[in-house]
Structure 1
Amino acid sequence: MRYAVVIPTIGRACLADCLNALERSRGPEPDEIVVVDDRPGGGPPLDVPGTVVRSGGRGPAAARNTGWRITTAPWVAFLDDDVRVTETWREDLRRDLENASPETGGIQGRVTVPLSDGRRPTDWERGTAGLADAWWITADMAYRRDALVETGGFDERFPRAFREDADMALRTMDAGWVLTKGERRTVHPVRAASRWASLRAQAGNADDALMRAVHGPGWHSRARADPGRRGRHLAITAAGALAAGLTVAGRPRAGALAGAAALAGIAEFAAARVAPGPRTRDEVLTMAATSALIPPMATWHWLRGLATTRGERAWPGPAKAVLFDRDGTLVHDVPYNGDPEKVEPVPDAASAVRLARDAGVRVGVVSNQSGVARGLITEDDVQRVNKRVDELLGPFDTWQVCPHDGGCACRKPAPGLVFQAAAALGVRPDECVLIGDIGSDVAAARAAGARSVLVPTAETLESECRGARVAGSLTEAVRFALGERR
């Protein structure tokens, strides 16, 4: 089983321990190890083994995308830079991948968090220990490359290491893939943190708002995520604001009652955090101070998130270019056709292409024409047929044709035509959606890193539909490309 390893980092010292543990592990070596330097502003090059690329300090989601898109292996294992894989991790990963069904899009590793012996864990340590029971966390998560391509990878609107993993999991399952837990194991030590770390963590409430906008109010249960105490934080903040308002309005007794309710909520919150901890003087003071500040901070970030994420769509949003296969997709398939008079568009081809154009999306055609190499038609014949398609449906912004009969980099399922079309249109391959009628269209798109939609015909094999995104019509396929259908 071929796989690559991608590790985003901000240059922490723990990266060396992570890479050393990976090197010591027994089992098949990865095709490649990609370390993604996500330090804001760059810095001196990282002196580590493997390939190092920079992602510009845009957060772990964007860093992971930067990493996996330069790999070629069919599986990509994501690790955080502060984990330590076990001595048998590579062998265990091999078994996880070999046991994966064709429908499996991702396999999570089993994470353990060692805690200090002889004392109760602090609030921060308990929070980290919760990773052991979390689902779909990218501390150790292997995704099938096809699943990453078809979902557009991680949503780069998530700027923190929070919820971007749950979003990726939900979109993967929405695309028809299955997620499972494997048997490999990884250790996640508790890193040092300041006493105010819980306050900075409240920015994650804005990420929850984005999750709600994209996946609906029931996303917590689907992602198996704990909704937390936000409701109580909102109530405490509301009571505190009401107390201040009533006091300013000259109603001190009513204000005092509202203030007492807010203080009671804060006290309950602090007690719930202190009780399971070490109860040292420093821990109690930290819990008391942060418990008073967390509710208003959580409320602020939640409201800010609701205001800024309203109407957001699931990642990656509309394509910038739609690429169509020609024969069997735009026009009825006439084998080795060199006669423009035989060109007949499929019933909804004109409306589908017009829909894309009206949305401001570039359109192109990528077509295998092996009849040229076989001597059945000439390149002039191909050009005349393409011109007729342009007259009936176009003009298209680019035509990319492979005249070969194999052994080249452009004949689908090879990705060459997709690369050429994207370059001609001035977009990245991952900003394209390729619409075709057979499996080689899907394979070419995935090999190039582009999404795809299959519109089956009588010539489409049932096996080609498995694991592919299937639309009932060309128009429906374009609507997916435009982000109007999931």
Structure 2
Amino acid sequence: MARTDYAVVVPTVGRPGLERVLRPLLDAGDDGPLEIVVVDDRLEPADELPVAGLAGVRVLRSGGRGPAAARNVGWRAATGEWIAFLDDDVAPPADWPSRLAADLAGLPAHVAGSQGRIVVPEPVGRRPTDAERGTLALSEARWITADMAYRRSVLAEVGGFDERFPRAYREDTDLALRVIDAGYGLVRGERRCPHPLREDGHWGSLRAQRGNADNALMRRVHGPRWRERVGERPGRLRRHALTSALLAGTAFAAATGHRRSAAALGLAWGALTAEFAARRIAAGPLNPAEVTAMVVTSALIPPLACYQRAVGEVRHRRALPRSPGAPAAILFDRDGTLVHDVPYNADPALVRPVRGARAAVRRARAAGVRVGVVSNQSGVARGLISPEQLRRVNARVEALLGPFDVWRVCVHGDGDGCDCRKPRPGMIESAAAELGVEPGECVVIGDIGADVEAARAAGARGILVPNGRTRPAEVAAAPETAGTLGEAVDRALRGPAG
């Protein structure tokens, strides 16, 4: 049988069991992966990971941007037809590599992913706690990346993981639905991967309510029936909303002197809260600490869940479904593209966005695309702008247009011989590297020929938005042009021209 061409990507925040995850892969021989990519997602790691020195292991960093971003950094850097994702707290057995190879061998081209069977051990001699039940549910979850392999070509086609999901929650479900929407199938393999029974403490259920904000994003990009598509039962949000409304009504009636109304509303709130608490208590060990925690958290969860859902609805109110052809990042020129060109501007008060700039950048963010700025600023080399003045002008741009994921500014002059000044590709390559993407996954939007020439030199897609200072020859030479910045962003989000 031909060797199965796969790599393994493991995002990590430095859990102590990381070497246990990698050991079966390193000892697998001919069935092992082509390479192992570990992505360190600690924000500011104080030391190297203990696996950094292992032969066959490549360690990358993703800057604490969450598991979706870490996995994107990993699969984009890895080679191989298949990318197998493992979490850093699973315990793959010694035969996992050979069983993965068997699961992947011979899969038809329309099958884009294979999920491993997650095995979570039941607690011995007692019922599981509320926190443990959350881990046990992983054994029935669909398409989770604790053990999930995807074709690399399909990951590239759909754009990988959506980094609008900041936690280890829903980002894998979102990816699976986009892969299915692209016309591919997903299957469950025969390999098994144990997952330890994780104890998140008595109050972990309160922290888990942050997932309601991610559910708001899921509803926005996949529609109201997304749970049905992944085999999930409806959540309790409507009942939580009723419970929270009764609690608010009780407080209002009491504060305004309506005692009978307060009593009636309070009884109704108490009944719903008691039902919720009783259901959770009955499923777990009946020890005093667990019962107390269930009573307290059952009163706190409904308003907290509603609050987090409201936060998500506001945060993602403009969210758009991620287009399969959308770029990983859009890099904008600054002067003449995002803001009106004021030569060698040193005054933040003179910064004025071009028409439609706010909406255009907002649409890119809403589509889950990273945004950045790549700008020549030779005024610093010429002594016409100080570095501090440049910093304040850029800060004003962000204040008016919102935060950008990356800034690259070349302060050199024409004769300095740097690699960053457009039309050279240095800034685009550096910005892409910081974002953890390939230059070819970026779109560069600018108003002069140097912008699109830099894009071409870096292997990125360039779109020219001509204005009064754009020369006719530059327009004629541009691979793509757009009449406005908004049109350019829309063209970028629709995917490559032609």
TM-score range, shorter chain: 0.5 to 0.7
| Contact persistence 1:108–1:181 (CA under 8 A) | yes
Partner of 1:58: 65
| Alpha-carbon separation, structure 2, partners of 1:261 and 1:422 | 61
CA RMSD after TM alignment: 3.1
Partner of 1:2: 5
Question: Which of 464, 469, 493 in structure 2 is aligned with 1:482?
Answer: 493
Q: CA deviation at 1:105?
A: 1.1
In the TM superposition, what whole-angstrom CA distance separates every residue of 1:77-101 from its partner, at most 9, and x where no partner exists? 0000010112221111111111311
In the TM superposition, what whole-angstrom CA distance separates every residue of 1:43-92 from its partner, at most 9, and x where no partner exists? 21112030111111111101100111101111100000010112221111
Stretches of structure 1 lacking an aligned partner (at least 5 in a row) = 323-358, 362-418, 434-447, 451-477
Question: Which of 78, 82, 85 in structure 2 is aligned with 1:75?
Answer: 82
In the TM superposition, what whole-angstrom CA distance separates every residue of 1:338-397 from its partner, at most 9, and x where no partner exists? xxxxxxxxxxxxxxxxxxxxx799xxxxxxxxxxxxxxxxxxxxxxxxxxxxxxxxxxxx
Question: Which of 121, 124, 129 in structure 2 is aligned with 1:117?
Answer: 124
| Contact persistence 1:26–1:89 (CA under 8 A) | no
Partner of 1:307: 314
| Alpha-carbon separation, structure 1, partners of 2:231 and 2:290 | 30
Stretch of structure 1 that moved more, 201-210 or 218-227: 218-227
Could you say if the C-alpha distance between residues 253 and 103 of structure 1 is closer, same or farther in structure 2, counting changes exceeding 3 Å?
same
| Alpha-carbon separation, structure 1, partners of 2:96 and 2:74 | 21
Q: CA deviation at 1:432?
A: 4.7
Task: Please state if 1:276 is matched with 2:283.
Answer: yes
Identical counterparts, % of pairs: 49
The one-letter amino acid of 1:215's match is H
| Alpha-carbon separation, structure 2, partners of 1:295 and 1:25 | 48
| Alpha-carbon separation, structure 2, partners of 1:42 and 1:253 | 58
Question: Any residues of structure 2 matched to 1:196-345 within 5 Å, and which?
Answer: 196-315=203-322, 318-319=326-327
The one-letter amino acid of 1:68's match is W
Could you say if the C-alpha distance between residues 46 and 130 of structure 1 is closer, same or farther in structure 2, counting changes exceeding 3 Å?
same
Question: Any residues of structure 2 matched to 1:101-180 within 5 Å, and which?
Answer: 101-180=108-187
| Contact persistence 1:42–1:54 (CA under 8 A) | no
Q: CA deviation at 1:424?
A: 8.5
| Contact persistence 1:73–1:145 (CA under 8 A) | yes
| Alpha-carbon separation, structure 2, partners of 1:40 and 1:13 | 17
* Secondary structure, counterpart of 2:77 in structure 1: coil
| Alpha-carbon separation, structure 1, partners of 2:271 and 2:312 | 27
Could you say if the C-alpha distance between residues 120 and 14 of structure 1 is closer, same or farther in structure 2, counting changes exceeding 3 Å?
same
Could you say if the C-alpha distance between residues 53 and 449 of structure 1 is closer, same or farther in structure 2, counting changes exceeding 3 Å?
farther
* Secondary structure, counterpart of 2:83 in structure 1: strand
TM-score by length of 1: 0.68
Q: CA deviation at 1:24?
A: 4.7
The one-letter amino acid of 1:16's match is E
| Contact persistence 2:159–2:326 (CA under 8 A) | no
Partner of 1:410: none
* Secondary structure, counterpart of 1:304 in structure 2: helix
| Contact persistence 1:243–1:258 (CA under 8 A) | yes
Stretch of structure 1 that moved more, 282-291 or 16-25: 16-25
Partner of 1:430: 441
Task: Please state if 1:42 is matched with 2:45.
Answer: yes
Question: Which of 14, 19, 24 in structure 1 is aligned with 2:17?
Answer: 14
Aligned residues: 356
The one-letter amino acid of 2:140's match is D
| Contact persistence 1:42–1:56 (CA under 8 A) | no
| Contact persistence 1:28–1:91 (CA under 8 A) | yes
* Secondary structure, counterpart of 1:69 in structure 2: helix
Could you say if the C-alpha distance between residues 480 and 166 of structure 1 is closer, same or farther in structure 2, counting changes exceeding 3 Å?
farther
Q: CA deviation at 1:198?
A: 0.7
Could you say if the C-alpha distance between residues 480 and 189 of structure 1 is closer, same or farther in structure 2, counting changes exceeding 3 Å?
farther
| Contact persistence 2:174–2:218 (CA under 8 A) | yes
Partner of 2:415: none
TM-score by length of 2: 0.66
| Alpha-carbon separation, structure 2, partners of 1:257 and 1:424 | 65
In the TM superposition, what whole-angstrom CA distance separates every residue of 1:19-63 from its partner, at most 9, and x where no partner exists? 224345576110110111111222211120301111111111011
Q: CA deviation at 1:308?
A: 1.1
The one-letter amino acid of 2:264's match is L
